[in-house]
């Protein structure tokens, strides 16, 4: 437990930021999971894929994910959902 006043404030700020980051992280993980489940069932995933992209972009914008990490996750998700037909 911090003793100094500024250390106490820093702890409060860190806890608040962690909680906000967890909300964003849960949102994009749930969106990705919904796309994966729908894809495995053979359902139409265009709307779900768009939601997942929005959530990943928002996470990258807020700094929860790096920009390239969000792009990589989205790319792999789309690749999994729509495999290339050319060989």
Residue 19 lies in a domain: yes
- Residue 87: predicted pLDDT: 53
CA angle 19, 23, 29 (to 5 degrees): 135
What is d(CA 43, CA 55) in angstroms, rounded to the nearest whole number?
A: 20
Q: Are 24 and 59 in contact (CB under 8 A)?
A: yes
**77 Cβ contact list (under 8 Å, min separation 6):** 32, 35, 36, 49, 52
Residue 40 falls within a domain, yes or no? yes
Count of domains observed in the chain: 1
pLDDT averaged over every residue in the chain: 93
pTM: 0.85
- Residue-range definition of the domain harbouring residue 15: 5-81
The two most distant CA atoms of the chain are separated, in Å, by: 64
Q: Which long-range contacts (CB under 8 A, 24 or more apart) does 70-77 make?
A: 73/32, 77/32, 77/35, 77/36, 77/49, 77/52
Give per-residue pLDDT as tens, 55-66: 999 999 999 999
pLDDT for the residue numbered 1: 84
Task: Answer yes or no: is 63 within a domain.
Answer: yes
In this structure, what CATH number is given to the domain that contains residue 67? 1.20.58.110
């Amino acid at each position: 437990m911090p003793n100094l006043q500024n250390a106490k404030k820093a702890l409060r700020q860190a806890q608040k930021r962690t909680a906000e980051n967890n909300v964003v992280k849960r949102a994009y993980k749930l969106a990705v999971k919904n796309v994966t489940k729908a894809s495995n069932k053979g359902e139409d995933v265009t709307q779900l894929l768009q939601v997942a992209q929005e959530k990943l972009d928002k996470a990258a914008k807020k700094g929860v994910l790096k920009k390239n990490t969000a792009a990589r996750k989205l790319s792999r998700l789309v690749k999994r959902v729509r495999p290339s037909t050319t060989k």
